[in-house]
Amino acid sequence: AQSVTQPDIHITVSEGASLELRCNYSYGATPYLFWYVQSPGQGLQLLLKYFSGDTLVQGIKGFEAEFKRSQSSFNLRKPSVHWSDAAEYFCAVGSAGETSYDKVIFGPGTSLSVIP
Amino acid sequence: NAGVTQTPKFRILKIGQSMTLQCTQDMNHNYMYWYRQDPGMGLKLIYYSVGAGITDKGEVPNGYNVSRSTTEDFPLRLELAAPSQTSVYFCASSGTVYEQYFGPGTRLTVT
């Protein structure tokens, strides 16, 4: 069965420091991969997505992610974190299911705190 | 465009009561979804719809019902509320299956 793991439940970084959030997936074929961000009290917003092609994808708010098939990973990075980046981050994988519905499976999330 | 709107934002129910969570989207999306979010568990799909008149169960449908009479609206009905249904509920929509747009959520407490 398809699954998504995010090994880090909570991460704290200093403002201006670099950030990497880890995501690993389990899926038999080439997955569709996503990162969403959830600010406190808000719904989820799509940061970036990978469908095919260049394995390094750029997203909004200065984020990027790299797909590594050999490691089944899709880690999210940002070179310099801002205080406004404090939020919950969800990795997700899109899978072609056995039914007519191609569903998205979300990881458990990583909570990011930013120290001024 | 308002995107995806949900009402109410907060609700407290007593055990055994019923209620409907409203969801409306103005993007003319065919796909709509209901998720629940519990701490440390990510999002779990309750029900989804691929178009008006077509709905199907997700991972955790027990205790819930949905209908989709129009493209815009996708209400979620809770019958006989139980404490296990205390959660944050998100509605989402997408024009393609994968790029989902989320509403702000409804925080429900059942006591």
Q: Domains along chain A?
A: 3-115 (2.60.40.10)
B33-63 per-position pLDDT tens digit: 999 999 878 899 999 999 999 999 998 999 9
pLDDT of residue A32: 87
pLDDT tens for chain A, residues 1 to 116:
778 999 999 999 999 999 999 999 987 677 889 999 999 888 899 999 998 888 999 999 999 999 999 999 999 999 999 999 999 999 998 865 544 455 788 899 999 999 99
Q: CA B107, CA A39: separation in Å to the nearest integer?
A: 15
How would residue B95 be classed by pLDDT, with cut points 50, 70 and 90? confident
Instruction: Tell me the domains of chain B and their CATH numbers.
Output: 4-97 (2.60.40.10)
- Confidence at residue A71, expressed as pLDDT on a 0 to 100 scale: 94
Please give the pLDDT value at position A100. Answer: 45
Please provide the DSSP assignment of B63-78 as one string.
TEEE--SSSSB--EEE
pLDDT of residue A66: 97
Retrieve residue B69's tokens: 């009479």
| Residues belonging to chain A with any Cβ–Cβ distance to chain B shorter than 8 Å | 4, 9, 32, 34, 36, 41-46, 49, 51, 90, 94, 99-104, 106-109
- Per-residue pLDDT band for B97 (boundaries 50, 70, 90) equals low
- Give the closest-approach CA distance of A103 to chain B in angstroms: 7
Out of A36, A43, A90, the one facing B105 most closely (by C-beta) is A43
Residues 6+ apart with CB under 8 A from B73: B22, B23, B24
Cβ contacts of B105 on chain A, cutoff 8 Å = 41-43
- Structure confidence at residue A97 (pLDDT): 53
Nearest-by-Cβ selection for A101 from B42, B43, B48: B48
Pairing assessment for the beta strands A44-50 and A32-38 based on DSSP bridges: antiparallel
Q: H-helix or E-strand containing B19?
A: strand B19-25
